[in-house]
Amino acid sequence: MEGICEIDVHGLTRFQAKTLIDSRLKSASKGVYRLRIVHGYNGGTELRNMVRSVYKNNPKVLRVEVSLNAGITELVLREFF
């Protein structure tokens, strides 16, 4: 998949979600410039907080962007022009 890779972590534990995101981050091709993490928000904020705090300092992530949709956080891997 190229461009934006969407990862749905609804219903996963914090450990399972981090493992899945780490795996996709490691295997992302050069064509992928964003990982869209769908964590939801009605069931609590644990996954959202984990994604935003853990990946803001990841060397593969240029920046973490908060979406207008409260249940989504995007990890920007590189700029797309």
User: Residue range 9-17: average pLDDT?
Assistant: 94
Instruction: Name all domains of the chain by residue range, CATH numbers in brackets.
Output: 3-76 (3.30.1370.110)
Asked whether the beta carbons of 73 and 37 are under 8 A apart, the reply is yes
**Residue 81, pLDDT score:** 66
pLDDT in tens, 35-71: 999 998 887 789 999 999 999 999 999 999 999 999 9
Helices 46-54 and 14-27 meet at what angle, rounded to 10?
Answer: 40
Give this prediction's pTM. Answer: 0.90
For the beta carbon of residue 74, count every other beta carbon within 10 angstroms.
18
**Residue 49, pLDDT score:** 94
Q: Which tokens belong to 53?
A: 């705090």
Between CA 38 and CA 65, with CA 41 as vertex, the angle to 5 degrees is 55
